[in-house]
Structure 1
């Protein structure tokens, strides 16, 4: 049997129940304690796997759990208590690894207070296959939910090609986003998938410290998405970005079908002089320095002793998952703790990726952009959009809104609606 991807409905005959009953396509709890679901007892070869389970619930407490086991339940590979924040549906992702062929069992245990259903179980081998060739990724959270809805709506309107759109959010925000996106037609959300950031980090085997800085965390998560194998290539967007013109993600590829890097060729002396002249401040080893020192340290990390570098500034990244994984491996080889370590040292994920490709994989370095969006930062700029004085340049595809302009999402929506742009 092929190990790459196996899917099971909650009512699949290969999945069994101790205390559940069939309701539609779900296996539903019945007010009794025990295993709601267990199975499929199928053989899986050595490798790393990602299990995605779709739940729906009216009540799920901390006594409920899901685990993955083998050896007829004697060896537990992973366990997680289930936590529910509101009523509704959500996804859980769990990762496990096996070094030899095993019969795998996924088990969901409920107590007598639970009102829980399992709709779908998917097991994917994440060593060798990608679910998609290209995807869009946006890291967001509750304060940006309105922006996220506008971004996705603009993507649906202006994207020339269909592709998955992954919205990565804290698990505690899942139901807020799920309910908010109900304002869109159901068919418009066919390509939208909400993913918990905790699950992405778990797949990458990263445990962030409690109350870890959100700015650094979102950079790590963008890199960690490569480890999920959901897509070979992906474009990252910020929540407060809106497309206002037709966009074809094929434009992010070179003529020889290599994914471009969001970058330009540059001379180190020119980049460092510019950053010094404008007194741009950055972080290096938890100290504030001129940003030129941060970029120079990243370049030195890759043993780039040449006069050349790449130049990146913008809000988008074009990522090749294989190259991201190579970047992480390189960091470990240098004695740094992978994605977490490099962002702790210098929190500039796009520059880390770009300099790795530029220095270590030059034959795959195809610079493009790097900007996709025109920046709108001031209130004056919002008014300029309203009267048509500020428009998107021919080579760009929309607007990136930054504070203080991004503090007025309803005003932005009204202005762009009035202009017929969204």
Structure 2
């Protein structure tokens, strides 16, 4: 547990391991560096009675929940336990090695804050450590990948390239379904043991992200739409003030500095480039490109004009928001969701029900509603690879990204390549 802060990209303001004297247990058993439940009801951990300043604090409770049938309840209190700051029953872990992530706000300084985990006889849980991060957000910038088991090989290569070429310190959050998570964790652990990567990504469960952000997913939603909701609602976890999202089938092949490429001062650019609306729509019509709108497939010009019309009257200028990555500002996402609710839509989920294009909703909102924060940039920081011939060019060491592209993005049928690692290794030779 010694490198927790390296996973999250910054030093915790407070860190307590299970074997610290400040952490006590009423019913637990010390097990190595952990405290394990013992089929008894009571407090698994208590303590450490610390001072927290006024403001926001995010607490990571590390460990494992082995059996979801038992009762596990976390409460945070002060004034010798008389004042309950937060209390929640844990229906399932937040992620691999993460029992729960709790965000609180204190309206005044508290000097004897206690963190407790209460369990019943049926609970089977292990506590390893807790970290406290003070401030509105855990960090200033992070990366997010939403993946599934079928994309595991691609995700491993993406993360490997991320550690090698991402040149500013930033945590990497990986969101996967609970059922897929053990295999992801096993494969990443093997890579770490082999010295291929230095740190593990923070693996969070899709189910926890959706439930903790109040995202009620319709039964007919497929993984593609769920992925888009998660990319938007990640902003509601307050893990980072700004973040970049990655699809799995892409990887870096040379150094990338997000501060240099994605920022104007402290403002995160929007993945959008200015175009003539008539010419772009004509291109969509002539190509016959179809997109979803209100459950039907329509020409892309109709779908994206619809999104623009929600925020402004259409004009000659159009901005292209669909690319391989989205660059999100959490505060702007919050404003977008408030706009959605105020206009009768069910938050981010409602927007994706209407038109499942998260970058387009965010980009259009920034363009028309947050003009002072709109600085467009080409969203294609990776070279798109869309056919097998381009895959073979990479293997033959011939296909080099443009000077403002930092790797490769693979789309069907190119993303059907069974050995992403070989493509990654070939890309390293190209850039050498």
Give the TM bin, normalised by the shorter chain.
0.7 to 0.9
Secondary structure of residue in 1 paired with 2:158: helix
Aligned to 1:25: 33
Q: Does 1:146 align with 2:187?
A: no
Once the two structures are superposed, what CA deviation does each residue of 1:218-237 show, in whole Å capped at 9, x if it has no partner? 11101111112211111111
Once the two structures are superposed, what CA deviation does each residue of 1:313-368 show, in whole Å capped at 9, x if it has no partner? 31101111111111111212222221111111111100111111111111211111
Once the two structures are superposed, what CA deviation does each residue of 1:349-392 show, in whole Å capped at 9, x if it has no partner? 00111111111111211111110111222222211222234322
Aligned to 1:212: 221
Judged with a 3 Å threshold, the aligned counterparts in structure 2 of structure 1 residues 220 and 375 are, in CA distance, closer, same or farther, namely same
Q: CA RMSD in A?
A: 3.1
For residues 260-339 of structure 1, the aligned pairs below 5 Å read 260-339=269-348
Aligned to 2:116: 106
Report the Cα distance in structure 2 between the residues aligned to 1:224 and 1:308, rounded to whole angstroms: 29
Aligned to 2:9: none
Report the Cα distance in structure 2 between the residues aligned to 1:100 and 1:257, rounded to whole angstroms: 28
For residues 102-181 of structure 1, the aligned pairs below 5 Å read 105-111=115-121, 114=124, 116-123=125-132, 129-181=136-188
Q: Does 1:90 align with 2:97?
A: yes
2:87 aligns with one of 77, 83, 108: 77
Secondary structure of residue in 1 paired with 2:127: strand
Judged with a 3 Å threshold, the aligned counterparts in structure 2 of structure 1 residues 69 and 248 are, in CA distance, closer, same or farther, namely closer
Judged with a 3 Å threshold, the aligned counterparts in structure 2 of structure 1 residues 84 and 292 are, in CA distance, closer, same or farther, namely closer
Report the Cα distance in structure 2 between the residues aligned to 1:298 and 1:76, rounded to whole angstroms: 39
Deviates more, 1:276-285 or 1:264-273: 264-273
2:71–2:122 Cα contact (<8 Å) kept: no
TM-score normalised over the length of structure 1 = 0.86
2:188–2:200 Cα contact (<8 Å) kept: no
1:48–1:95 Cα contact (<8 Å) kept: no
Judged with a 3 Å threshold, the aligned counterparts in structure 2 of structure 1 residues 219 and 185 are, in CA distance, closer, same or farther, namely same
1:130–1:232 Cα contact (<8 Å) kept: yes
Deviation at 1:407, TM superposition (A): 1.8
Give structure 1 stretches of 5+ with no counterpart: none
2:94–2:204 Cα contact (<8 Å) kept: no
Give structure 2 stretches of 5+ with no counterpart: 1-11
Report the Cα distance in structure 2 between the residues aligned to 1:168 and 1:193, rounded to whole angstroms: 8
Aligned to 1:237: 246
1:166–1:194 Cα contact (<8 Å) kept: yes
Secondary structure of residue in 2 paired with 1:347: coil
Aligned to 1:348: 357
Deviation at 1:10, TM superposition (A): 2.7
2:45–2:115 Cα contact (<8 Å) kept: no
Secondary structure of residue in 1 paired with 2:337: helix
